[in-house]
């Protein structure tokens, strides 16, 4: 399933995904209905303050944030990282990993 807000960028989502996924729309001004999304926003704001124009953030800075978030162990994933979980799922599907432009953050 996908949960989204009522922003115009999601207006065609139901039509696009009909019969493929359940799509839920949250109520206006109800951020608690998208808890995971709000948690991710909070993590991103450690690096990019709220109100920053995304066009002013360098690609290397964006890549660093992406790598940091994907290298952070998550309780819900048994303390594996999103990167490790993704690699594990892709390997089950026997897909070629070189197709994916991902790499963990070097610690």
Domain regions of the chain by residue span: 1-35, 45-107
Quick: pLDDT tens for 7-27.
777 777 666 666 677 777 787
Task: Encode 32-55: b = buried (16+ Cβ within 10 Å), e = exposed.
Answer: eebeeeeeeeeebeeebeeeeeee
**Residue pLDDT, tens place only, 45-99:** 999 999 999 999 999 999 999 999 999 999 989 999 999 998 888 888 887 776 6
Neighbour tally for 57: CB within 10 Å: 13
User: What six digits make up the tokens of 85?
Assistant: 């979980």
Q: pLDDT per residue over 36-57, tens digit each?
A: 778 888 999 999 999 999 999 9
Does the global pTM surpass 0.95?
Answer: no
Cross-strand bridge partners of residue 24: 3
């Amino acid at each position: 399933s996908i949960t989204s807000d009522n922003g115009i960028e999601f207006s065609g989502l139901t039509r696009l995904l009909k019969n493929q996924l359940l799509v839920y729309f949250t109520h206006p001004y109800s951020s608690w209905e998208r808890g995971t999304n709000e948690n991710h926003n909070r993590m991103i704001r450690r690096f990019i303050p709220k109100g920053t124009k995304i066009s002013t953030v360098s690609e290397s800075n964006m890549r660093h944030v992406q790598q940091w978030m994907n290298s952070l162990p998550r309780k819900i994933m048994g303390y594996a990282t999103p990167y490790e979980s993704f690699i594990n799922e892709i390997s089950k599907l026997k897909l070629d990993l070189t197709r994916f432009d991902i790499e963990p953050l070097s610690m």
